[in-house]
A and B are shown apart, each in its own frame.
Chain A
Amino acid sequence: MSVFSESLQAKIQSFLTRYETRRSAILPVLHAIQDEHGWVSEPQIEELHHTYGLDRVHVKEVISFYDIYKDHPVRKYQIRYCKNLTCHMLGAREAICRIKEHITALDAQLGEDGPFSLEEFPCLGKCDGAPVMLVNKERVEYATVDRVDEILAKYAPLPKL
């Protein structure tokens, strides 16, 4: 019995033969797993090792090296907020503080079921829309402090601060 859905198994299988070596499939396979599950779990790594021939050591070092891969459960909406030079100059810090306040309030009510997580991110490459953030895969530009409430409310109801 696989820990992966049938469609995910097919995807993993296709990546294994798509590149010159099986090992090159590790990054695309992990992206595919995260697209469905949000993170990569220990049983999934074991199945990759035993069923698909992706060495667990190789898989784990990749997960630990790259920012995008997570080895723990994630919230429904992962916010990655750019804090680099241009975003910093145009108000990232104030917006990040506001987001943190919302997350603290939400988590006080909902605990681990809180909808948002926040990662202060090295750079998102959209400095002409600064300050910018990603909500899961969606890019949100001009995410200034005065717009944060409105932006977050599109994803989940916010308690009054």
Chain B
Amino acid sequence: MSEAKPKIILRTEGLPDQRSIKTYVDKAEGYTAVRKVLGGLSREQVIEEVKQSGLRGRGGAGFLTGLKWSFVPKDMPGPKYLICNNDESEPGTFKDRYICAVNPHQVIEGMIIAAYAIGANKGYIYTRWEFQEEIGYLETAIKEAYEAGFLGKNLLGSGFDFELDHYSGAGAYICGEETGLISSLEGKKGQPKVKPPFPAVSGYLGRPTIVNNTETLANVPWIINHGPKAFRQWGTEKSPGTKVFSISGALNKPGVYEVPLGYPFASLLNDEGGGMQAGRSLKALIPGGASAPVLTPTECEGLTMDYEAMAQRGTMLGSGAVIIIDDRQSIAELLKVTIEFFAHESCGQCTPCREGTGWLNNIMDGILDRSAKPDNIERLRTVSRNMGGKTICALSDACAMPVMAFVQKFSDELHAYLAAGSGSHRQ
């Protein structure tokens, strides 16, 4: 009964005026889910539908969306907030950018429903500054939704108010962490906050706040329209639905593709991605953005694209950023790029992260210019082991995990790289 490649998110892709409200309404059931919800579903019913669907957060952590919504205290008086985390900054990830370019109204409709479910009357879409074009698309879409009466006061005569605004970041990866984002939205440095309390209880300005990823929110209208059972016809038991993957590297058709969760990696690479460029072969795979531990070609055999299969192999699906490493690449260089990124993006609050990423960067410089001793390769792992689970947010772990995997799986190459310059060793 199910299509092999359903579109839940990218429903307007390729249609004329794909991101206009008219196309969304005419061709993609646009704003019918909002009508259904405001026409008579209770908040509890909406949360229950999303819970039953098994929808997991698409920003990286994979937390159950309905469960997250249910943490918002129901009877607490005063304002509550909904934030769309559109600060997509994980290296290799560009699917939320594409969703905004193709189908921004579905994100907005998802926000209206989520806001209703948690009792929020104000929402923000927080987008990274670098997405200038897409910020323009979002601002246009918000304006269109206001004009059509889907945003503002007393929506569709239901008595429910929802105001939505856009907020632009300023170039800081850490603002993709939900409490870092909240700090930024409060006009501060984007430094994460200690949890608990979790944002659902005390978030933006100390008020109950839900932060959901762009793609996560875009799933919601479809679930409301078609029900949890229909949603679960795709994907796996624990990872239902589709996933929008961004795949990049030396392949023929890098880009953004929506496929069911549990889709074979080989098909994603060879069918959607068009296969490796001529003369290049797969050397390694980063399956979920720069913070996901690398996989070898052997580990990619039989690999499926879902949360469980990745966890079994000691890595993660993350945000769905599939980075293809081809045989011409130097692992030493890629390791340096990875470490340097996290060292740059560490917000500086926690010592293990601030100092750890800095040490790794210094050690890696020595390896790269071949002045380091061979035991410095193992030292990368020793330092990394002391960075995990010791900090306010997961950035420290996000650096440590890929470093440990690169060193463990490509130890021979790293040692060979160093040895190739043995004449210049510092003794």
Identify which of B9-17, B181-189, B380-388 touches chain A. Answer: B181-189
Specify the chain B residue showing the minimal Cβ separation from A126: B94
Q: Judging by beta carbons under 8 Å apart, are A28 and B168 in contact?
A: yes
> Does chain B have a CB within 8 A of A124?
yes
> Does chain B have a CB within 8 A of A102?
no
Q: Which residues of A contact B128 (CB under 8 A)?
A: 125
Q: Interface digits, B308-333 against A, CB 8 Å rule (1 contact, 0 not)?
A: 00000000000001010110010001
> Does chain A have a CB within 8 A of B44?
no
Q: Interface digits, A19-31 against B, CB 8 Å rule (1 contact, 0 not)?
A: 1110111111011
Q: Which residues of B contact A31 (CB under 8 A)?
A: 129, 168, 170
> Does chain A have a CB within 8 A of B56?
no
Q: Judging by beta carbons under 8 Å apart, are B205 and A21 in contact?
A: yes
Q: Judging by beta carbons under 8 Å apart, are B89 and A123 in contact?
A: yes
In the assembled complex, the Cα of A31 lies from the Cα of B135 at a distance in Å of 13
In the assembled complex, the Cα of A18 lies from the Cα of B163 at a distance in Å of 12
Q: Which of A65, A68, A89 contacts B249 (CB 8 A)?
A: A89
Q: Which residues of A contact B329 (CB under 8 A)?
A: 89
Q: Judging by beta carbons under 8 Å apart, are A84 and B186 in contact?
A: no
Q: Determine how close the nearest CB of chain A comes to the CB of B257; give it in whole angstroms.
A: 10
Specify the chain B residue showing the minimal Cβ separation from A86: B248
Q: Which residues of A contact B204 (CB under 8 A)?
A: 20
Q: Determine how close the nearest CB of chain A comes to the CB of B43; give it in whole angstroms.
A: 23
Q: Determine how close the nearest CB of chain A comes to the CB of B115; give it in whole angstroms.
A: 15
Q: Which of A20, A21, A69, A85 contacts B290 (CB 8 A)?
A: A85
Identify which of A6-14, A107-115, A127-135, A146-154 touches chain B. Answer: A127-135
Q: Judging by beta carbons under 8 Å apart, are B171 and A62 in contact?
A: no
Q: Which residues of A contact B122 (CB under 8 A)?
A: 20
Q: A24-B186, A83-B337, A89-B250 are in contact. Are A125 and B97 (CB under 8 A)?
A: yes
Q: How many A-B residue pairs have CB under 8 A?
A: 132
Q: Judging by beta carbons under 8 Å apart, are A130 and B248 in contact?
A: yes
> Does chain B have a CB within 8 A of A100?
no
Within 8 A of B (CB), among A50-79: 58, 61-62, 65-69
> Does chain B have a CB within 8 A of A37?
no
In the assembled complex, the Cα of A91 lies from the Cα of B25 at a distance in Å of 42
Q: Which of B79, B187, B188, B290 contacts A84 (CB 8 A)?
A: B290
Interface centre among A20, A28, A31, by most chain B C-beta atoms within 10 angstroms, is A20
> Does chain A have a CB within 8 A of B172?
yes
Q: Judging by beta carbons under 8 Å apart, are A68 and B170 in contact?
A: yes
Interface residue tally for chain A (C-beta within 8 Å): 39
> Does chain A have a CB within 8 A of B66?
no
Q: Judging by beta carbons under 8 Å apart, are B186 and A125 in contact?
A: no
> Does chain B have a CB within 8 A of A43?
no
Q: Determine how close the nearest CB of chain B comes to the CB of A65; give it in whole angstroms.
A: 4
Q: Judging by beta carbons under 8 Å apart, are B132 and A127 in contact?
A: no
> Does chain B have a CB within 8 A of A88?
yes
Q: Which residues of B contact A88 (CB under 8 A)?
A: 333-334, 337
Specify the chain B residue showing the minimal Cβ separation from A125: B94
In the assembled complex, the Cα of A68 lies from the Cα of B135 at a distance in Å of 16
Q: A66-B172, A130-B248, A134-B130 are in contact. Are A122 and B254 (CB under 8 A)?
A: no
Q: A27-B184, A90-B250 are in contact. Are A128 and B88 (CB under 8 A)?
A: no
Q: Interface digits, B143-187 against A, CB 8 Å rule (1 contact, 0 not)?
A: 000000000000000000000010111111100000000001111
Q: Judging by beta carbons under 8 Å apart, are A66 and B187 in contact?
A: no
Q: A89-B250, A122-B345 are in contact. Are A27 and B167 (CB under 8 A)?
A: yes
A-B contact pairs, 13 of them (CB 8 A): A18-B165, A19-B187, A20-B204, A21-B205, A61-B188, A62-B189, A65-B172, A85-B338, A89-B249, A125-B94, A125-B97, A127-B254, A128-B94
State the 8 A-B residue pairs at the shortest beta-carbon distance, nearest first: A67-B171, A66-B170, A127-B248, A23-B187, A68-B171, A65-B189, A26-B187, A84-B91
| Other A-B pairs beyond A19-B165, A86-B323, A89-B250, 4, CB < 8 Å | A67-B172, A84-B341, A126-B97, A128-B255
